[in-house]
Amino acid sequence: MGQEKEARTIIKPRLLKGFRDSLPDAEIPKKAIIGRLEQLFSSYGFVPIDTPALEYTEVLLGKGGGETDKQIFHFEDNGGRDVAMRFDLTVPFARFLALNRNSLPMPFKRYHVNKVWRGENPQKGRYREFIQCDFDIVGLDNAEADFEILSVMHASFALMGVEHYRFHLAHRGIFNQMLAHLQIAEHNSEILRIVDKLRKIGRLAVLEQLQALLGDSTKAQAILRYIEKEREDEPFLTTLARLEELGGGESEHSRRMRTIHAYLVEAQIDEHYILDPSITRGLDYYTGLVYETFLVDLPHYGSVCSGGRYNDLASLYTKEHLPGVGSSIGLDRLMSALTELGSPIAQSGSSADVAILNTPSSPFAERDRAARTLRKANIAVSVYLDERKIGAQYKWAESQAIRFVLTDGQRDRFTLKDLQSKEVWEAVSADEAAAIITKELH
Amino acid sequence: MGQEKEARTIIKPRLLKGFRDSLPDAEIPKKAIIGRLEQLFSSYGFVPIDTPALEYTEVLLGKGGGETDKQIFHFEDNGGRDVAMRFDLTVPFARFLALNRNSLPMPFKRYHVNKVWRGENPQKGRYREFIQCDFDIVGLDNAEADFEILSVMHASFALMGVEHYRFHLAHRGIFNQMLAHLQIAEHNSEILRIVDKLRKIGRLAVLEQLQALLGDSTKAQAILRYIEKEREDEPFLTTLARLEELGGGESEHSRRMRTIHAYLVEAQIDEHYILDPSITRGLDYYTGLVYETFLVDLPHYGSVCSGGRYNDLASLYTKEHLPGVGSSIGLDRLMSALTELGSPIAQSGSSADVAILNTPSSPFAERDRAARTLRKANIAVSVYLDERKIGAQYKWAESQAIRFVLTDGQRDRFTLKDLQSKEVWEAVSADEAAAIITKELH
């Protein structure tokens, strides 16, 4: 056995490019944020679902086209099936709706937080495996559903402790109405794609590309007048009136937008929403309201929560008409942003409230009994199970951001220390320690 | 556009064999159980980690051998790398330890709850994608760590509301001592593999196979005497004394077992643990304590939580010696069992506490205001956003197991109904409704 072991090759413990481990420092706050978001979604009556990580490639690639094709992990499984790992949560949701439609309440409000995989070239802050957090309302096409999604978005950012965030709203219908008014509706998709690049390539390049496409500088300039606001702080309804004018008047789409805005005002959250006609969202399935979310203090992060209204999401898989509206939070990117902003929720990295250390005078059974007493009082306790010197034990507790330390158990009396305030309580029982810790923590 | 749509082929929305969607009915209780388990692990100072779903095939397959090879999903990615989806959480954890050793506190207590994938042929209750729930203490080889894992197992089953569960413990070291005493230690692995089949093939077949292997019926019978207890309810220490005798006397291994048992008695949880020398665990990396968990009322489910002590988990990836002890709960199997047992935790399928229905007299803004008031009181509220007949709305609430219904908002007064008790409260404000619901729910 011994010789066999010596001879054995050590395999280098390496990770794939674009993939990473999540250590407790990162995983604890990530779980905390996901837990709070899920609780929030539940408080609005949204229910969780999950779908397989692997699906038939044909099923996942029906929508998305060539660009996506190169980015997905797909292969032939042992049974000769062409299978792929999901690259987002939207396509599987469409498939899910088509398959399970009859088992779901309608309207259906769902959330889904899980991993997706993309083979794209990893850049700073972008990985090949990341967590998406989607929430949608399906089976409805009205302002109330649009508003509810927007209001869940607001509540999500509020709970994460971000101070300055702004939801940029636009409406595909009003945009199309403007194109129809200019008699260039047939170029709809190409125009959308050009306009979508405004933030990346700037207004001049957009204008050039539009002129090249339309062969008409007046119309190209009209489009630019539509997507650019005169003043950054132009009021919502002023912008809306201007867009209506550029589109030849009021329409069901602009009326929808006005109703949504009225609900936001009513809920006293309208200050976070601006009408930003430059938002288009590249994806073809959006048909109405679309939105992106920017952190005012970290604009370079780009949108951290995006989505919109689609009026036929599952049309690839069913003839049934299933309108909906939804939103997707890029959780890993948001986590980086929260860390950069110093948000407390991104820093909650302690493994327990109290560590019970191992001093020669305290038998294990006594320390374990104290741990049980503290746990009954809803205090998280990590018993130090090794036998090192006390200094190493303190270091172990501190490295895990454990605030309290209990030592010297003798006949069930302990010394309690608050490593933060340096306060010390001598000869306390486990019950007394529980009371003190509870008081200090709250 | 319309014509284009007509002509488009509908893709059949099918799932891969062995994979399944998780609908809210299943996902709500699954999340509830995972949440409670994670909270429990945290209360013992265990911290969460995650690892990538994809790793180099070479890294994952170093341990496990031929059997596993056929079962894993592996392929060549776009960069020409041979990659595989993780098939358990133990091998990635070993790799994780080797790679991140210097960033981790030691002793290190971790938990990991996530999906794994196996290409094995799906049977009843077995899928190709399933959730494992692992918890381990690494960096220690002592009775206190062994005991703590066993006590977390007990706390886990207690919180899930299972009444009759039994942890079957054995010790590889005592077993090996017996083999050495019989002078057949060199057949260790083969004997373990035969003995491991006792439950499946029965005692006679085991005896035959042992005789065939050893060419000695006396020794074969001695092994059987070791693994079989005389009486099902033989006390722990009686069995232990008998095993020591069969192995030629006391040893560090039997002393370890006695210490662990003393801690279980001290913690008043010993009634759930029996010493069952027929438990061996097939896997080679176990070196000390091993265990399986059976639900007394559902023995055909097999073990729902297993594990043991390994004294060199990461040896494939590092020369550093990293002993540990850990346990793995098969969450999907356990969920089926909990459902079959009628455990309340497996049935908590309601999407919200209260539904606010849409009656013509109540404007949306007023209903949304009531929803906000209720949510502030920590009540989960689903606002019905469609405009159907009231009967359909009640059905919608009932199909989601929503207990309360709020209707007829007029000047901020509502009718509240408890669909369970049929009680009705008329003309209440949202605040009053919040107070009533809170009282009735607790």
Query: A95, A287, A385, A404: which to substitute to probe chain B, counting the most B Cβ within 10 Å?
Result: A385
Chain A residue numbers with beta carbons less than 8 Å from the beta carbon of B43 are: 352, 375, 378-381
Q: Does a cis peptide bond (omega within 30 degrees of 0) precede residue A107?
A: yes
The string of pLDDT tens digits covering residues A24-37 is 999 999 999 999 99
Q: Are A424 and A416 in contact (CB under 8 A)?
A: yes
The C-alpha angle with vertex B238 and arms to B236 and B243, in degrees rounded to 5, equals: 95
Determine the pLDDT at residue B102: 92
State whether residue B231 sits within 8 Å of chain A by CB: no
Same domain, A335 and A392: no
Question: Cβ A47–B383 below 8 Å, yes or no?
Answer: no
Q: Which two tokens stand for residue B332?
A: 């999907």
Chain B residue numbers with beta carbons less than 8 Å from the beta carbon of A159 are: none
Question: Cβ A10–B100 below 8 Å, yes or no?
Answer: no
State whether residue B392 sits within 8 Å of chain A by CB: no
A2 falls in which pLDDT band (50, 70, 90)?
very low
State whether residue B144 sits within 8 Å of chain A by CB: yes
Last residue of a domain, one of A346, A366, A391: A346
Question: Cβ B385–A263 below 8 Å, yes or no?
Answer: no
Same domain, A142 and A36: yes
Same domain, B280 and B324: no
3-class secondary structure, A404: strand
Question: Cβ A385–B105 below 8 Å, yes or no?
Answer: no
Determine the pLDDT at residue A50: 98
Q: How many CA atoms lie within 13 A of B261 on its CB side?
A: 21
The answer for B 238-257 residues in CB contact with A (under 8 A) is none
Q: Is residue B8 part of a domain?
A: no
State whether residue A263 sits within 8 Å of chain B by CB: yes
> Distance between CA atoms of A242 and B92, rounded to whole angstroms?
57
Compute the count of residue pairs across chains A and B with CB atoms less than 8 Å apart: 299
Read off the amino acid at residue B232: E
E-strand stretches of B303-353? 305-310, 324-330
Last residue of a domain, one of A346, A370, A388: A346
Determine the pLDDT at residue A1: 36
The answer for B 354-383 residues in CB contact with A (under 8 A) is 355, 364-365, 368-369, 372, 375, 378-383
Same domain, A360 and A340: no
Question: Cβ A21–B96 below 8 Å, yes or no?
Answer: yes
Neighbours of A440 (CB within 10 A): 15
The string of pLDDT tens digits covering residues B193-212 is 898 888 889 999 999 999 99
Same domain, A310 and A432: no
A351 falls in which pLDDT band (50, 70, 90)?
confident
Candidates B54, B96, B100; nearest CB to A19: B54
Same domain, B371 and B404: yes
The string of pLDDT tens digits covering residues A292-316 is 999 999 988 889 999 999 988 888 8
The string of pLDDT tens digits covering residues A132-167 is 999 999 999 999 999 999 999 999 999 988 889 999
Q: Is residue B253 part of a domain?
A: yes
Percent of chain A with pLDDT over 70: 95
- Helical (H) or strand (E) element with B396: helix B390-399
Phi, psi of B247 (to 5 degrees): -95, 5
Q: How far is B231 from chain A (nearest CA, A)?
A: 30
Same domain, A371 and A286: no
Residue with tokens 């997707």: A328
Same domain, A247 and A365: no
Phi, psi of A409 (to 5 degrees): -65, 120
Quick one: chain A helix, strand, coil %, rounded to 5?
A: 45, 20, 35
Query: B1, B112, B385, B386: which to substitute to probe chain A, counting the most A Cβ within 10 Å?
Result: B385
Q: How far is B318 from chain A (nearest CA, A)?
A: 6
Candidates A107, A262, A381; nearest CB to B386: A107
Question: Cβ A83–B16 below 8 Å, yes or no?
Answer: yes
- What's B124's domain CATH number? 3.30.930.10
Q: Is residue A19 part of a domain?
A: no
Query: A68, A382, A438: which to substitute to probe chain B, counting the most B Cβ within 10 Å?
Result: A382
Same domain, B236 and B300: no
Q: Is residue A10 part of a domain?
A: no
For A128: left if phi > 0, alpha if psi spans -120 to 50, otherwise beta; the answer is alpha
Last residue of a domain, one of A318, A346, A374: A346
Determine the pLDDT at residue B410: 77
Q: Is residue A8 part of a domain?
A: no
Q: What is the pLDDT along chain B (442 residues), one digit of tens a residue?
A: 333 444 567 889 999 999 999 999 999 999 999 999 999 999 999 999 999 999 999 999 875 455 557 789 999 998 899 999 999 999 999 999 999 999 999 999 999 999 999 987 766 667 999 999 999 999 999 999 999 999 999 999 999 888 899 999 999 999 999 999 999 999 988 898 898 888 889 999 999 999 999 999 999 999 999 998 878 889 999 999 999 999 999 999 999 999 999 999 999 999 999 999 989 877 677 889 999 999 999 988 889 999 999 988 888 898 888 999 999 998 988 988 998 988 888 876 788 999 999 988 788 999 999 999 999 999 999 999 999 999 999 999 999 999 999 998 778 899 999 999 999 999 999 999 999 999 999 8
The string of pLDDT tens digits covering residues B320-339 is 889 999 999 989 889 889 98
Q: Are B338 and B349 in contact (CB under 8 A)?
A: no
Question: Cβ B24–A49 below 8 Å, yes or no?
Answer: yes
First to last CA, chain B: 55
Q: Is residue B127 part of a domain?
A: yes
> Distance between CA atoms of A196 and A189, rounded to whole angstroms?
11
Q: Name the average pLDDT for chain A.
A: 91
Candidates B50, B145, B317; nearest CB to A22: B50
**What residue of B is the nearest CA neighbor of A9?**
B316
Q: Are B315 and A5 in contact (CB under 8 A)?
A: yes
Same domain, A361 and A227: no
Predicted ipTM?
0.92
Same domain, B203 and B137: no
Q: Is residue A210 part of a domain?
A: yes
Q: Is the Cα dihedral A200, A204, A208, A213 positive or negative?
A: positive
Quote the number of domains for chain B: 3
3-class secondary structure, B258: helix
Same domain, A303 and A433: no
A5 falls in which pLDDT band (50, 70, 90)?
very low
> Distance between CA atoms of A100 and A134, rounded to whole angstroms?
18
State whether residue A59 sits within 8 Å of chain B by CB: yes
In this prediction the pTM is: 0.93
Determine the pLDDT at residue A121: 76
Determine the pLDDT at residue B66: 55
The answer for A 154-213 residues in CB contact with B (under 8 A) is none
Which residues form the domain of B118? 17-163+296-349
Q: Is residue A12 part of a domain?
A: no
Q: Are A401 and A350 in contact (CB under 8 A)?
A: yes
Mean pLDDT of A364-379: 95
- What's A413's domain CATH number? 3.40.50.800
**What residue of B is the nearest CA neighbor of A351?**
B45
State whether residue A47 sits within 8 Å of chain B by CB: yes
Residue A96 has pLDDT above 80, yes or no: yes
Q: How far is A110 from chain B (nearest CA, A)?
A: 8
State whether residue B54 sits within 8 Å of chain A by CB: yes
Percent of chain A with pLDDT over 90: 71
A57 falls in which pLDDT band (50, 70, 90)?
very high
In DSSP terms, A273 is beta-bridged to A167
Q: Is the Cα dihedral B344, B345, B351, B352 positive or negative?
A: positive
